[in-house]
Amino acid sequence: MKRETKITVDAEIKIRHRETGDEETLAVHGISTTWLWDEGSRDAAEYWAVADWVAQTFGNDIDWFSIGSWTGTPERGILS
């Protein structure tokens, strides 16, 4: 049986825009991910959900990003 939990992640990230060099702090809410219990830690699943969101949203338009904080909340009724 696959053990997993669906999680919604909120995070605060800082990015630096490649074209302008401007730095910006963003609050991101509602990133969905699935934590596979037997494949890694919950912290890692949440962190990589945020990192993947940044990559998908900004692509190569940023020089760097930093995840300042994140919080994951299990979605109700989705335990297997």
Q: List pLDDT tens digits, range 24-51.
A: 999 999 999 999 999 999 999 999 999 9
Residue 74, pLDDT > 70, answer yes
Q: Name the residue ranges covered by the structural domains of the chain.
A: 4-74
pLDDT averaged over every residue in the chain: 94
User: In this prediction, what percent of the chain has a pLDDT beyond 90?
Assistant: 90
Res. 77: pLDDT tops 80: no
Write out 65-79 in H/E/C secondary structure.
EEEEEEEEEEEEEEE
pLDDT at 55: 96
As a dihedral over the C-alpha atoms of residue 38, residue 40, residue 43, residue 46, rounded to 10 degrees, the angle is -90
Residues 18 and 61: beta-carbon distance below 8 Å = yes
Place of tokens 């990589």: 48
Residue type (1 letter), 47: Y
Q: State yes or no: pLDDT of 78 exceeds 80.
A: no
